Chains A and B, each alone.
Chain A
């Protein structure tokens, strides 16, 4: 009986130690430069803010609504102009308030989806290109302080592209019965969140 109690107590000690090991971080005296950055943090960046996330998904979703050639032109235009914005951010070129531009992008892109706005190719490309500059600017300002800027940029470009693809995939809902209502509702929700972000950027 006493032996059983010893086994139970031993099990508790081993279990607790194992659980503590799982929760603890390894001690690391030399983990590099100490600067944040790298592929993972770059990849996480577009997911870390709801403004980036919704805008990227909206680009793909709106492209899916507009069909060819914009379904692939918008996801190609966006990274190209995002690079221009990132370069402006790296060199700290003056730009109108970036948070305002990003919040406005969520409102406009969400609104375009909610209203199923059939913009011509040139107009849709210009709208997306202008907003891409603001998103790129925000990324670019953080890029130079990243410990591994190339991996960081690879991470955030890949994440951005995958969010566009996610938006395009959501656009396939349009082929289902009542799918258009669902995607238009998503656009309305995105625009509403964008209005909240715009209010925060303007007032708070």
Chain B
């Protein structure tokens, strides 16, 4: 088992943390870009053979998006929109490969973490945001490496699957 709510939730948390460092005028276009891309990629069924590649893309995207909080000059608006499109693509793909649209709906509120994140960044207290982003990166890096293990019992289907 590796699908479910967690992969898209981590993508949305990473995006939310990154948007905390973006200017306010970038928020609306970013959220709209995310929703449009999500809608498009959730409707398009991903080939089941690409599951490993989709999950790898998901984890790399989580790491790249969460790491953007360390950009010295913050996140420019164009980069915020680009990250949103990228997150939308991988969240849609990962849910279409393993999961349901309900998982996507459950995970989507995680993106709202950009509100407290931007509040902290505006008050020059970005440390907690950067610490949380390091946790997200750690989880995604572990999940990415798990795919390289030859046998992971948790990924094997049990007799009910």
- What is the CA–CA distance of A3 and B43 in the complex, to the nearest angstrom? 67
Size category of the binding interface on chain B: 20 to 34
Contact B152 A150 (CB under 8 A): no
B16 contacts A by Cβ under 8 Å = no
Size category of the binding interface on chain A: 35 or more
Which B residues are CB-close (under 8 A) to A71? 127
Contact A143 B153 (CB under 8 A): no
Contact B143 A80 (CB under 8 A): no
Give the residue name and chain of the B residue nearest to A33 (CB).
B158
Give the residue name and chain of the B residue nearest to A69 (CB).
B127
Contact B152 A157 (CB under 8 A): no
- What is the CA–CA distance of A148 and B156 in the complex, to the nearest angstrom? 10
Assess A35 versus B154: contact at CB under 8 Å? Given A147-B1, A150-B7.
Answer: yes
Nearest CB of A to B90, in Å: 15
Which among B2, B6, B142 is the interface contact of A86 at CB below 8 angstroms? Answer: B142
Contact A147 B153 (CB under 8 A): yes
Assess A153 versus B143: contact at CB under 8 Å? Given A72-B130, A145-B153, A147-B1.
Answer: yes
Q: Give A contacts to B, CB under 8 Å.
A: 30, 32-35, 37, 71-72, 75-76, 79-80, 82-83, 86-87, 90-91, 140, 143-154, 157-158, 160-161, 164-165
